[in-house]
Each structure stands twice: as C-alpha cells, then as structure tokens.
Amino acid sequence: MTHQILRLDGRHSTVCIETEAGAAPVWRHYGARLGETAAGLMSAFEAAGLRRLAPASLDRLGGAPVFPCFGNGWPGAPALRASRDGRGPVQDLVLDRVERPGPQRAVLHLADPVSALAVRIFLELCPCCDVLSVRAELDNLGPGPLRVDALAAASVAVPPGLQEVGSHTGQWAHEFQWRREPVPAAGWCRENRTGRSSHAAPPACFLLGPATGEFAGEALGCQLAWSGNHRFALDRHDDGSLLLQAGEWLAPGEADLEAGATLATPAMHLAWSGRGLDGVSAAFHRFARRHVLRWPGGAMRPRPVHLNTWEAVYFDHDPETLRGLASQAAALGVERFVLDDGWFPARNHDRAGLGDWRPDPCKYPEGLGPLIAHVRALGMEFGLWVEPEMVNPDSGLFRAHPEWALQVEGRPLVLGRHQLVLDLSRPEVADDLFAQLDALLAGHPITYLKWDMNRDLAQACDGSGRAAWRNQTLAFYALLDRLRERHPQVEIESCASGGGRADLGVLARATRIWTSDNNDAAARVAIQSGALRLFPPEVLGAHVGPAPAHATGRVQGIDFRCAVACFGHMGVEANLLAMAPEERAALGGWLAFHKQWRGVLHGGAFHQGTSPSGLVWWLAQAGDRAVLAVITPDPPGFGCEPPLRLPPLGGTGGWRVRLVKQAGKPRARAEAGSPWLDALRGGGAWTTGEELALVGLPVPVMNAESVLVFTLEAD
C-alpha cells in the first residue's frame, strides 16, 4: 500500500483525501463524522483500484480529484486553465508532499515540472463550526509569463445523493430570493461579472438531496469569501456524483503571472450537515461570528438601533429639520443617527458631487460639527453615508483628474446612476480617498460609515488598458483595512444599492450588510429569510420604512413594519416628524422590545421554517430564552391553522410561552373568541420542547401582512 488517507475531523463532519506522492490527490469522503476505525476500505484500496476501465475510455483510472487539470486525461472541468503564450495548456499537478500544521489543518503541495507550475492547497476544518475552508496558491516557476484564464480554490466532492442545488437570485430591491432546482445532467454553472458580489448571483450555493428539508436530510453549503466577479460550477463525475468548484471569474489578462509570481484564490467555505438547511445555516452563522467578523474592541456590543435619514429627507438637508429628527429619534429610543446622502457639495440630486467628501457650505455653513454635537448631546452615536469608490463627472475631483476613473481609451464613458468608478488600484487615488475620509473621521466623533456602491463595473480597465476588475476588489479591501487600522473604533456598513455586496470577504472588514433598499415589510420577509440562510441576523440591516414604501408604493401598518424589522439589526428610515402620534408610540414600543430581546436575536441560534399553509416563522434561541415570529405574508391558505411545529425545540425542557406582540388581526367571525390566545397574552401557557417540536404551537389564522411574536422562557 503506497497511498495514505489524509483525515480532518470536525464535530459532526469528516474529510478524507487519498494522497500518494507522484499522484493527484482524490476525495474519498466528505460528509458525516466517521468513527476512528471506520476507514478500513479507504486505507486498504486506492480509489483507482475500485474502478474498472469503461468501454471507449482512456487507459487511465482515478477518483474525484481535489485539483483536476486540463488536457491530460481528465474529461471534467479543470481547476486551472493556463498557458504560456498560447503554448503548454496541458498540466498534470501531482502531490509532492503533505504538510500538517495542526490536527484540523493540511497543506497539499502539488507540482508539475513539465509546466513549471506549483500549487498549494490549504485545507482547514474548524472543529467548533464544522466549516471546511479551502483555498489555493499558484506559483509560476517558469522562465516566462503565465496566462491564467481560470483558477478555482479546488474541486470538492459532493456526497452522491445530493442532486439538487439551492441558490439565491434577485435584482435591486428584490435580493436573496431562494431557488431550488435539480442539477441538470450536464451540470450547473453560475457566473457573476458585475464587479461586486451582485444582486442576481451572490457567491453561495447549497447542495441538497430530494428529501432534504429545513431540519432533516443531508445538505452541503458553500460560500466564497470574495466581493467581486465569481464563478460556481457543478461538474458531473463519471459515477454520477458532482464536483463543486468555486473561485474568481477572471477577465482576460487580469491574472497573468510573471516568472516567480504567485496568484492566490479567495477561500471557499463549506458546511456539511445531516440535519438539513438549518444545520448548514447554523454552521455559517457560527463561522461568521467566531472567525470572520472583527468587532471594534474585539467583541460585539449591543447593536445600536439606527435612524437613517435617507427615506426621511432624501437630498433635502436642512440642519433645523435634522436636529428635530434627531431629537424625536432619541425620544423613541434610537441609539445611532446616520446622516445619509446629500451632505456634501452640489449634492441636491444624484448627478453631482461624488468625489468631494467635505460638508456642503450651503447646507452646513458651520460644517457637520453642530449637528454631530446635537446628536451626541442626545445620547446617540453619529454615522455618515459615503460612496468613496465613485465619482460624478460633475465634481471637483473629476474635473481635476478625469484619468482617475476606470475607462477604455477611445470609447465613450459608460455611466451608471450618473457616476463613474474610480481606479482604486492607482496609489494616488487610494491615497486621496484615504486622506479625505481620514480627515472626516479624525475631525469629528464619527463612529460609523455607511459605505455605499451604487453601480456595476463597466470598462474596468486601468491606465495601461489592462482589465482591473480583480485589482479593484483587492484595492477596495486594502482601503477598508487601512481605514480600520487608523480608526479601529469605527464600524463600516457594506451597502451596494442594497444587498449588492454581501459576502464573507466584505464581512471580514465590515460589521453590517444593508440587506436591501426595499423597506416594504411584505417584500422584506423573503429578502431577510434568504439572507439569513447565509448570515447571522445581527449583521443584516432591517429598517422600519415609511408608508407607502419607497421601493414598491405599498402601504403596511406600523406594527407589521416594526415586527419584520425587529428580526435583524433594527433601524428606522422614515420621517418621524411626519408620523402620527399613535404611530410614533407604537414604534417606540417595538424599539424597546427589540432592545430587550436583542441579546437573544443577535447572539442566539437562529432557525427558520414555513408551514404547509404558507406561514413563515423565525426563531432565535439563546439558552433559556427564545423569541418567535409567526408571519402571514400573504392571504391565508387554510380556514383553520394547524399547530405550528418547531423542530429546533425538540429535546429542550419546559417553556412558558407568551404572546407579547401582534401586527394585524385574526381572520375570524367577530363573535369568535379565543380563550387560549387571551391566556397567552396574560400569564402565558406552559409546554415542553417535545410538544412544540412534535405536536406544535396552536396559532390562529391571521389576515395577510400579520405577525404574532411570542417569547419563550425556560420554566
């Protein structure tokens, strides 16, 4: 026996890779945790030895490769496509050695002397999160440049029974729409070329079995920690199983390597679970909380409730109105006041001003200082909206430096929202932006930046004419890192026309994602449910907007708007001064409730599900406390609602259940009473986790756009 089994163990999952010097590493197992003596067949027989040559096949056998190469007998999708001046496109990277930096970590060193290439594949299986992180580094060891057309982090073997793919689709104001479909016989591919992680194809997917549900069955999830162009692909192996690849989508020529240079991929983070989609989401939430997010001071503090001024005043910045808005916000319990777009010169609309990051002397003759002082005197923090990557042609910056914008010589400029994109990879551009932002943060007690990015990239070429999509993302990361190093107490929100840049790459530098520009609460149910499959609720901005909603024109009651926003990082984005007194009173009550329970919402395990009748439910549990929202987004499908089963509470002890908040009305005859609902509104009712999981919680039929909020406390 010349091969060995490289094994990494998590709490619930195990990785087994067959390694042999001079051969390509192949997958033997990625899935459920194996016992210590459960790998006898893998140790006794090589993957190739368990196969027979098929008719009309090449005389070469092998298993599912970790890093498949092009043109040397592997018929599937290669992890690398590269050549030298159009020559030498065939590679065969085989194992040189295995390095073990720790019990849950390994580095596979691959080499191809003929192609003068080397690849290192880094694997780490987090024991506390059960998330497998994989990334690759490619070295050009040859005498000349290497053209790299594609480079994936690796290929990962999908358990054979998982033949359906779940992913998110969408557009502006309609992000994170969940979609589940069978993987076609020829495989599945999704590419994003927008220059940000996108509204339509965020960098994530899930592999599911036909019987996999929210809380049962085998599931595998994958996220790519990258905020730019990306590619996800499922390639079918000759035994019918699938190989998953994820990596950057590379524009022509943008990743070419000079002799001696190295190209590194973003990390793909994978989570396997035997308890359905909920198990994968739980692993992703734990991983983000423990290994991705970097909070000022080293730990998350209670997430301050926001007041964002955009849908309150838009570009109409009047200091007196803003002071009144701040005073009203503080009286309702708001803790952070964020001044949105419109505060800098010429910014009376979206056609001018971007690039000139100083207060408008017409709107703020004394600068931002007096407004900030007023906000802070009310006990609130102050935050500011910026869009540093962008420039309007009608701006001082562009008039002085038109060459700083990404563009292609000889071609008309392509505008988006009347703006262009600055080439952040130019040191003089990054330095200028840093200097402007540093002056703002050093000169004022600003603790929060809402960092926006309101257009896709087009003509993304640098001054030399080379493609710059990739370098733009790297330069964006570098600018955020530089600002955070200089101002470690400042939090940054990632906004990109809503949820257009939401991924684990940006979350390593930001502490909040603006989930969507759509504050319509009915639309938000699906948006937030989709985003919660990937990210924990404390990083997902969720605001109470005005009625009618800016994005849809629909009108919803204040309680419904508040209830939906409560299950995220809650904020308000409406003109409080124009609200009726009873609306403000209701809003204040919901803000107080959110603050009372945000320790559970933002630190507990989060679960979600749907009922046969179409109810959506969100449950957050931390120890002996839990909070549950039961949402009726559409007209009810049943005349009587069956009890709502809550599988995550199975195995827990006794609970005191109370109905504490309600939006909307029950669908019932006027004379129909509900003694049990009255009891829940009072002292509550006692039950067990087993009853809630197997029998269910009795709930009434509610009208559309209704929410019932329950608290559960161990009893």
pLDDT for position 46: 85
In terms of Cα–Cα distance, which of 326, 305, 313, 387 is closest to 353?
387
**Contact present, 23 and 5 (Cβ < 8 Å):** no
Res. 566: pLDDT tops 80: yes
Look at residue 46 and tell me if it is in a domain: yes
Look at residue 511 and tell me if it is in a domain: no
Look at residue 161 and tell me if it is in a domain: yes
Shared-domain flag, residues 437 and 583: yes
Q: Give the rounded percent of residues in the chain with a pLDDT score beyond 90.
A: 91
Mean pLDDT, the chain, integer: 96
Look at residue 181 and tell me if it is in a domain: yes
DSSP codes of every residue in 196-220: SS-SS--SEEEEE-TT--SSSB-EE
Domain at 634, CATH number: 2.60.40.1180
How far is Cα 353 from Cα 391, in angstroms, rounded to an integer? 7
Interval 353-380 mean pLDDT: 98
Catalytic residues: 452, 517
Res. 352: pLDDT tops 80: yes
Q: H-type helices in 602-685, by residue range? A: 675-681
Min mean pLDDT across 25-39, 476-490, 507-521 is at 25-39
Q: Which of 554, 584, 604 is the last residue of a domain?
A: 604
- pLDDT by residue (tens digit) across 34-58? 998 777 788 888 887 777 777 777 7
How far is Cα 191 from Cα 200, in angstroms, rounded to an integer? 10
How far is Cα 169 from Cα 147, in angstroms, rounded to an integer? 32
Structure tokens at 47: 């993957």
Residues making up the chain, counted from first to last: 715
For the chain, the farthest-separated pair of C-alpha atoms sits apart, in whole angstroms, at 87
Res. 11: pLDDT tops 70: yes
Q: Band of the pLDDT at 339, cuts 50, 70, 90?
A: very high
Number of domains in the chain: 3
pLDDT for position 60: 74
pLDDT for position 75: 86
* Domain ranges, residue 220: 4-292
How far is Cα 301 from Cα 548, in angstroms, rounded to an integer? 33
Q: Which of 257, 276, 292 is the last residue of a domain?
A: 292
Look at residue 455 and tell me if it is in a domain: no
pLDDT for position 675: 85
Structure tokens at 175: 């992000």
Res. 392: pLDDT tops 60: yes
Look at residue 496 and tell me if it is in a domain: no
Min mean pLDDT across 57-71, 112-126, 214-228, 609-623 is at 57-71
Cis ω before 548 (30° cut-off from 0): yes
Shared-domain flag, residues 226 and 269: yes
pLDDT for position 237: 85
Q: Which run of H or E residues covers position 164?
A: strand 164-169
pLDDT for position 42: 87
Q: Which of 265, 292, 319 is the last residue of a domain?
A: 292
Res. 668: pLDDT tops 90: no
Shared-domain flag, residues 540 and 428: yes
- pLDDT by residue (tens digit) across 368-377? 999 999 999 9
| Dihedral sign for Cα atoms in the order 543, 545, 549, 555 | positive
pLDDT for position 137: 98
- pLDDT by residue (tens digit) across 237-257? 888 889 999 999 999 999 999
**Contact present, 276 and 123 (Cβ < 8 Å):** no
Phi, psi of 99 (to 5 degrees): -110, 135
Q: Band of the pLDDT at 670, cuts 50, 70, 90?
A: low
3-state secondary structure of 342: coil
Shared-domain flag, residues 246 and 317: no
Q: Give the rounded percent of residues in the chain with a pLDDT score beyond 70.
A: 99
Phi, psi of 505 (to 5 degrees): -70, -45
Res. 1: pLDDT tops 70: no
Interval 261-277 mean pLDDT: 98
Shared-domain flag, residues 51 and 114: yes
Look at residue 451 and tell me if it is in a domain: no
Q: Residue 99 has what DSSP assignment?
A: E
Q: Is the pTM of this model over 0.75?
A: yes
**Contact present, 160 and 240 (Cβ < 8 Å):** yes
Look at residue 688 and tell me if it is in a domain: yes
How far is Cα 195 from Cα 423, in angstroms, rounded to an integer? 12
Shared-domain flag, residues 617 and 592: no
pLDDT for position 44: 82
Shared-domain flag, residues 126 and 263: yes
How far is Cα 183 from Cα 293, in angstroms, rounded to an integer? 33
Res. 62: pLDDT tops 90: no
How far is Cα 429 from Cα 399, in angstroms, rounded to an integer? 14
Interval 133-145 mean pLDDT: 97
Domain at 397, CATH number: 3.20.20.70
How far is Cα 149 from Cα 146, in angstroms, rounded to an integer? 10
Res. 473: pLDDT tops 80: yes
- pLDDT by residue (tens digit) across 199-218? 999 999 999 999 999 999 99
**Contact present, 308 and 325 (Cβ < 8 Å):** no
Shared-domain flag, residues 124 and 168: yes
Res. 619: pLDDT tops 70: yes
Structure tokens at 241: 């199983």
How far is Cα 256 from Cα 140, in angstroms, rounded to an integer? 10
**Contact present, 449 and 384 (Cβ < 8 Å):** yes
Amino acid code (one letter) for 530: G
Q: Band of the pLDDT at 563, cuts 50, 70, 90?
A: very high
Interval 96-112 mean pLDDT: 97
pLDDT for position 445: 98
How far is Cα 575 from Cα 312, in angstroms, rounded to an integer? 4
Shared-domain flag, residues 11 and 159: yes
| Dihedral sign for Cα atoms in the order 297, 303, 308, 311 | positive
**Contact present, 590 and 334 (Cβ < 8 Å):** no
How far is Cα 336 from Cα 596, in angstroms, rounded to an integer? 17
Shared-domain flag, residues 273 and 301: no
Shared-domain flag, residues 351 and 338: yes
pLDDT for position 190: 97
169 DSSP β-pair partners: 177
Calculated CA dihedral for residues 126, 128, 131, 136, nearest 10 degrees: -20
Domain at 274, CATH number: 2.70.98.60
**Contact present, 184 and 214 (Cβ < 8 Å):** no
**Residue found under tokens 């932002």:** 437
Question: C-alpha angle with apex 651: 648 to 653, nearest 5 degrees?
Answer: 105
Per-residue CA distances from 261 to 52, 118, 142, 247, 499 (Å):
40, 11, 10, 19, 35
For residue 558, count other CB atoms closer than 10 A to its CB.
22
Min mean pLDDT across 37-51, 81-95, 291-305, 601-615 is at 37-51
Shared-domain flag, residues 14 and 160: yes
pLDDT for position 671: 65
Interval 543-569 mean pLDDT: 98
CB neighbour list of residue 259: distance below 8 Å, 6 or more residues apart = 140, 141, 142, 143, 144, 145
**Residue found under tokens 């102050």:** 382
